[in-house]
Structure 1
Amino acid sequence: MDVQVLIAGAGPTGLTLAIDLVRRGVTVRIVDKAATHFVGSRGKGLQPRTQEVLFDLGVLDDVLAAGRPYPLLRVHTAEGATDRSMGEPGEAGEAEPWMLGQGELEAILRAKLAEHGVRVELGTELTDFTQDAGGVTAVVDGERVRAAYLVGADGGHSFVRKHLGVGFVGQPVEAVRMIIADVTSRGLDRDRWHIWPQAQPAMIGMCPLPGGEDRFQLMAGIVEDAPELTEATLRALLHERTGRTDITLTDPTWTSVYRANMRMVDSYQVGRVLLAGDAAHVHPPTGGQGLNTGVQDAYNLGWKLAAVLTGAPEELLETYEEERLPIAAGVLSLSSALLTKHARGEEDSMRRGKETQQLNLSYRGRSLAKGEHGGDRVPDLPTSSGSLFELLRGPHFTLLALGKTHPDLPVPTHALPELREHYGCDYVLVRPDGYVGVSTNNPQDLSTYLYTL
């Protein structure tokens, strides 16, 4: 075997998976057919649950330093400008959505991966693969590579998905197309996200980006074919739709014409080949769900792949699809509902709440969820030892002993009787991805759970 896991695609999903695997001692190759790293503000919203994942991977401080909180919206209409909040205040101890462009996030993740001795292989294309009972034989730039597993994290146009023949159900939303561009602009306050919802023939917005003075992301709906995206045409579009010739626009560094899509696979796994991120589901940008769902796909898959590679039953991998496919379907439904509001021009179409933060997503009722709290995300509850997340951090199961005694198990154990009121039981076994595996009063349930994985 040349490598244990071959990952096709080095976006946030592939990079998250690679980091999670290598810190568990799994050998990884991660390839991307792109000749250069992506630089741009696409996927700029990091939800609180994703920030928890990034904390565990050891990159959250860098992400927070490079990004910024979401600003208030400033809505410009014929009647004047009004300021609005996009979201509701978070609960105590919970993060707020954070703004950082995908290109900058990827750079941070690549740097962390490099600390583990693994680098992204750019300009390296997966062109074929076959599989058998023992592994996957892939062709990468003409080289034959033998891997135990292949993961397709190669985006909405995924070669891996197409080669597998997996269904990709859904449709493009022809009515929603948008120009997006990263530009330098002066004349607008940088502490507000400026929106002209009534602009003709379609809305336009300017969102201040972190990390650079006078950098904004321009967003403009289009109803006809997109013009050539030059500096001059973007400037003219901005001036025409806002009526503000005092706003400058120069130096477009990344431009894109976006057409909303709503699609997802009917299977996350075929044998030893698995799909994750946009290769498995593509979302409208409304609600900032796509990138975040992909990162959490990877976080769910990483510990399971590593466990199987070190002797756990292969059936454990079946729980990846069991848990993540319903989540993707639910998140896609949410994104679609928000898109409908946006298309109708509803006043609250930009407002976000708990449903978009992904903190309440649960695996309750799935085969790995045991007990009253099985499948629930573990919040960062205050403890006598400080942050609970600090105690959970790392690629392992953790036992929270909430009663007077605890069994001797081969996992880190923390006696935290102060949490018994919250959980109402003696033991909570937390999975490596921060969800409750078992909540119980019977220590035998813990041993049974661990030794059957």
Structure 2
Amino acid sequence: MTTGTTDVLIAGAGPTGLFLALWLTRLGVRVLIADPRRGPVRETRAIAVQARTLEFYDQLGLGEQALARGRHFDRLNLFVGGDLRGSVRLRGVGDGLTPHPYLYILTQDENEAMLASHLGALGVQVDWETEVTGFTQDGDGVTATLERDGRERTVRASFVAGCDGARSTVRHAMNVPLSGGTYEQRFYVADITLSGRIREGDVNLVLADDDFLAFFPMPGSDRHRVVGQLPPGAPEDATFDLVRSRIEANGLARVSQLHWFSTYRVHHRVADQFRAGRAFLLGDAAHVHTPVGGQGMNTGLGDAANLAWKLAQVLRGGSTELLDTYEPERRPFAVSLVGTTDRVFTGIVGRGRAARLFRLGVVPTLVPLLTRFRAVRRLLFLTVSQTRLRYPRSPLSQGRAGRVRGGDRLPWVPHPGGSNFDPLRTLTWQVHVYGGADPELLAWCARRDLPLHVFPYDAAARRAGLEAGAAYLVRPDGYVGLVAPRLDFSLFDAYAARWLPGRVQPSPVPRPVLTS
């Protein structure tokens, strides 16, 4: 017996599920969010949001609140034993690339609280203590079974999104393997107040002969999140007392208060598929990897930003072919990310002579040396911030003008009073032109009911690699779809017919939005 209907059933109310739900709700899509937990998390390992995530938050109007909930950090300090071997200055390294040219601490629980609050304001609540236990699908939708307090109910949805973590029930129901492995070492995370030589407000990485520690600054005076490696042979019920001496070794830190402590294992796995019919995998349900670089939560949020507008467009009558682009855009990035973080993490935490040489010799020598160069720091920021991520092989990506290709993230161009990112808050397809716009392009956009935004072609636009007079058709997630250096109606019409929503509408008075 079906007891409810919705457009999209979302399994999991972590950051990925909540962000997907919020984006969909903003686009008028009905969602149902089910999570077997009793309520929001309090103890979390994910602590950083990258610049690309903050750009997505800006699109949804969450940017200012996100910045009010967390804190910046300025540099990375590298200790070997008790000796400071180098520092890498981070603030401002992304200047000119993004409105958020820094690295930012905003913990998973704070992300979830912010997202849930905005969902609540829109009338959407999470069904806590409710688990999606299975589903079937047909040509018209998904029939899912939900369980709460031993009672089952059935929900009919157009699509189901598995945002339910590494042990995803949705993934198991899809019969999709999560391929990869698990590190033999066990790790711990502790939220503590401390004093000592660990530098307040910075990220501090401590390498030792058989250990590593990472100290991350948290909101509040002298409060840090510490990640470390449990000693070999540690019991399954290990407590903080087992690692306290390792944290306080060499006089770097003195713990004055423990707020919470947890142990865990680290996996490096990617789902063989991200989609099966009307079912999709996002976040940890699709990919799990080491905490190196603070990429996990951000990658899940990127999955949600990619999928949300596509689901909404299809639900409004758009071609289902659009959904075929989700997996080829997101899975290659996940595979590359897992491979990269796996190599780095193995070098840092591995045992044996080669790993010890890398940890105590190569890293302390090369990192301070290489990061003296601005170009290296710039590349590091582009990679970690995920602003370098692009989709050049996607069927949605076509053309090139200047240095910008289809599939690139729209380059950020500031102007007095704002930037070219401001129109992205409409969460719609739109056309950007830098310099004068061809009147025939205005008419074409009007017939397609597409917003046209005309920006000055100035020094900032030139530095961003944009070409004067070219048309950049921008996707709702801020990536460029079609790029055309000159007006070509056959190209525009073919792209629009395949990928854009809606039908051609007559509009006798085209009105571009001019931004000075």
> Normalising by the residue count of structure 2, what TM-score does the alignment of the two structures yield?
0.81
For the structure 1 residues 44 and 414, does the alpha-carbon distance in structure 2 shift closer, same or farther, using more than 3 Å as the test?
A: same
1:104 positional shift: 1.0
For the structure 1 residues 262 and 7, does the alpha-carbon distance in structure 2 shift closer, same or farther, using more than 3 Å as the test?
A: same
The secondary structure found in structure 2 opposite 1:183 is strand
1:431 positional shift: 0.4
Aligned letter for 1:67? Answer: G
1:132 positional shift: 0.9
Aligned letter for 2:395? Answer: S
The secondary structure found in structure 1 opposite 2:305 is helix
Aligned 8 A contact 2:82 2:252 in 1: no
Aligned-residue Cα RMSD (Å) equals 2.4
**1:4 maps to 2:4:** no
Aligned letter for 1:416? Answer: F
More displaced 10-residue stretch of structure 1: 402-411 or 389-398: 402-411
The secondary structure found in structure 1 opposite 2:195 is coil
Counterpart of 1:204 in structure 2 is 213
Aligned 8 A contact 1:39 1:104 in 2: no
Structure 2 counterparts to residues 4-403 of structure 1, below 5 A: 4-77=7-80, 80-85=83-88, 87=90, 89-94=93-98, 95=100, 96-141=102-147, 142-174=152-184, 176-187=185-196, 188-198=198-208, 201-210=210-219, 212-227=220-235, 228-239=237-248, 242-244=249-251, 247-253=254-260, 255-343=261-349, 344=355, 345=359, 346-347=363-364, 352-372=380-400, 373-383=405-415, 386-402=418-434, 403=437
More displaced 10-residue stretch of structure 1: 307-316 or 214-223: 214-223
- What is the rounded CA distance, in whole Å, between the counterparts of 1:245 and 1:358 in structure 2? 32
For the structure 1 residues 195 and 112, does the alpha-carbon distance in structure 2 shift closer, same or farther, using more than 3 Å as the test?
A: same
Aligned letter for 1:438? Answer: L
Aligned letter for 1:156? Answer: A
For the structure 1 residues 379 and 104, does the alpha-carbon distance in structure 2 shift closer, same or farther, using more than 3 Å as the test?
A: same
1:243 positional shift: 3.8
For the structure 1 residues 56 and 252, does the alpha-carbon distance in structure 2 shift closer, same or farther, using more than 3 Å as the test?
A: same
More displaced 10-residue stretch of structure 1: 352-361 or 227-236: 227-236
Kindly provide the CA deviation profile for residues 272-299 of structure 1, in whole angstroms up to 9, marking residues without a partner as x: 1111111111111112111111111110
More displaced 10-residue stretch of structure 1: 52-61 or 418-427: 418-427
Structure 2 residues not aligned, in runs of 5+? 350-354, 372-379, 500-516
More displaced 10-residue stretch of structure 1: 312-321 or 220-229: 220-229
Aligned 8 A contact 1:7 1:152 in 2: yes
Structure 1 residues not aligned, in runs of 5+? none
For the structure 1 residues 140 and 297, does the alpha-carbon distance in structure 2 shift closer, same or farther, using more than 3 Å as the test?
A: same
- What is the rounded CA distance, in whole Å, between the counterparts of 2:305 and 2:62 in structure 1? 14
**1:423 maps to 2:433:** no
1:9 positional shift: 0.7
Counterpart of 2:450 in structure 1 is 411
For the structure 1 residues 218 and 108, does the alpha-carbon distance in structure 2 shift closer, same or farther, using more than 3 Å as the test?
A: same
Aligned 8 A contact 1:341 1:349 in 2: no
Counterpart of 1:438 in structure 2 is 482
1:379 positional shift: 2.0
1:27 positional shift: 0.2
1:259 positional shift: 2.1
- What is the rounded CA distance, in whole Å, between the counterparts of 2:18 and 2:268 in structure 1? 24
